[in-house]
A and B are shown apart, each in its own frame.
Chain A
Amino acid sequence: MDSATSDATPGPAPDVTPDPGHGPSVAGPRPQLATTADNGLKIVVVGGFGVGKTTLVRSVSEIRPLNTEETMTRAGEEVDDTSAVGTKTATTVAFDFGRITLDAHNVLYLFGAPGQERFWFLWDRLFSGTLGAVVLVDTRRIADSWYAIDRLEHHGTPFIVACNDFGGPAHTEAEIREALDLGEHVPLVECDARDRSSSKYVLITLIEHLRTQVARATPQALQETPV
C-alpha cells in the first residue's frame, strides 16, 4: 500500500461561516445543502506538493475542506504509461475537497488532487465528468507542473493555469508559457490562493474558457473537442 495526502496545511482550519445568500444555514459543524439541490458539478485543482491547492479550495469553499480517500487497484485498467508495471497494486490516495452552492439546484465541488506522476490513475477517475481543471503552479518550481499538464492534454480535459503568488521573482507571461510549453489558447492567470476573490476569479476564468470551447465546438458538435 502506498499513501499520500495532498498539501493540507497543518493546524486548525479557520471556521467557515456559511454565506447567508446561499441556502439556509443550520446549526452544526457543516452547512447543509438546500433540499432542492440536485446537480453536483466538479472542478479539479491539480498541482505539485505544497503549491496551495487546499488553500485555494479553502478560500472559496462554504465548508471547511474535507478529506477522504479512495483505494484503487491498477490491474485491469488501461495503462498507457510505459513506466507502469503490469502487476496488481492497490494504492490509497487521500484528497481534499470543498463545496460551493451555486444556486438552488447546482452545487460545485472542488477537488484538490496531488500532482505527482504516480497518481495519474486517480486523476483519470477524478476527471471523469469534471467540468475542467485548474493547474496551480508555483513559478519557483515550474517543472512540478509538467506532468499534470501532460496528463490533462492527453485526457482531453480543458484546463487553465493559475500561478500562485509566492513572492518569488517575477516572470513574464511569455517566460512562463515557454517554461510550461503552454499553447496560446490556454488561459494563464496569476492568483493569490489565500484570497477568496482571487480564487473566485480563477474559477470564473476556467468556466469562461469552457464557454469559449463550447462555442468553438458548436458548429461541429460531434467533432472531437480541441484542447
Chain B
Amino acid sequence: MSPRRTGPGPLSHRDESPDRLYTVTGGRTRSGPDTPFDLVTLVVTESEPAPGMQSEHAAILRLCRRPTAVVEVAAELGLPVGITRILLSDLLDTGRISARHPRTQAGGPGGYRLPDPDILEQVLVGLRNL
C-alpha cells in the first residue's frame, strides 16, 4: 500500500487491477438506473454475514452495524464508489441492509434546490455546538 493512501483496510482493492474489480461485481460495471445510493445515503446492516457469502458483501455487513455512508463504505473497502454501489444494491435487493436516504432533495442535473429551512437551522445549531 502506498503511504499516500488513507483509509483502506486489509480488504483494500485499491491497487488491484480492473480485472479484479470486474470479478468483484460479477462483470457488472454499473448499478441499475434507479440506484438509490447517494454518496451520503446511510447504510445499516439488517442481518449478519452468512457462511459462504462473497467477502466484500460480508465486509459491508460488518462495517454497517452502525449507520455508515456509502462514501465511507467505499473508502473503508478501498473500492471505487461505483463498484461499492453495485455491491450495496445486491445487499439491498436481498434485504440484508437498509438504506437511509438524505432528506435533502437532490436537484436534477444542472439544477439546485434550496434546502428545507428546518434542516438549515439544525445544521446551524449543530455547527455552533462544535
Counting CB contacts under 8 A, is A179 at the interface? no
- CB contact between B120 and one of A77, A78, A214 (< 8 Å): that residue: A214
Which residues of chain A are near B75, meaning CB under 8 Å?
A: 66-68, 97
CB pair A210–B115 under 8 Å, yes or no, is yes
| A97 to B75 alpha-carbon distance, docked (Å) | 10
Q: Check B72–A106 contact: CB distance below 8 A.
A: no
Please tell me which one of the listed residues B40, B100, B129 contacts residue A41 in the complex, with CB atoms under 8 A apart: B40
Please tell me if B130 contacts chain A, counting CB pairs below 8 Å: yes
A38 touching B126 by the CB < 8 A rule?
Answer: no
B interface, over-half SS:
loop
Task: Kindly state whether residue B107 has any CB partner on chain A within 8 Å.
Answer: yes
State how many angstroms separate the Cβ of A140 from the closest Cβ of chain B: 25
Residue A147 at the B interface, CB < 8 A?
Answer: no
Chain B, interface size category, equals 35 or more
Given the contacts A40-B41, A204-B124, A97 and B100 also touching, CB distance less than 8 Å: no
B39 adjacent to A214 (CB under 8 Å): no
Q: Which of B68, B80, B103, B122 contacts A69 (CB 8 A)?
A: B80
Contact with A along B106-123 (1 / 0, CB 8 A): 110111111101011111
Would B129 and A21 count as touching, CB distance under 8 A? yes
- Cβ contact within 8 Å between B69 and A109: yes
Query: CB distance A157 to B112 under 8 Å?
Result: yes
A68 touches B81 (CB 8 A): yes
Contact B6 A13 (CB under 8 A): yes
Contact between A207 and B42, CB atoms less than 8 A apart = no
Binding site for B on A (CB under 8 A): 5, 8, 10, 13, 19, 21, 30, 32-35, 37-42, 60, 64-71, 77-78, 92, 96-97, 99-103, 105-109, 111, 124, 126-129, 131, 155-158, 196, 200, 203-204, 207-208, 210-211, 213-214, 217, 225
Residues of chain B having any CB pair with chain A under 8 Å: 3-7, 38-42, 66-69, 71-72, 74-76, 80-82, 100, 102-107, 109-115, 117, 119-130
A/B interface sample: 13 pairs, CB < 8 A:
A30-B72, A32-B66, A42-B39, A64-B7, A66-B6, A66-B76, A100-B127, A102-B126, A107-B67, A108-B123, A200-B130, A213-B114, A214-B115
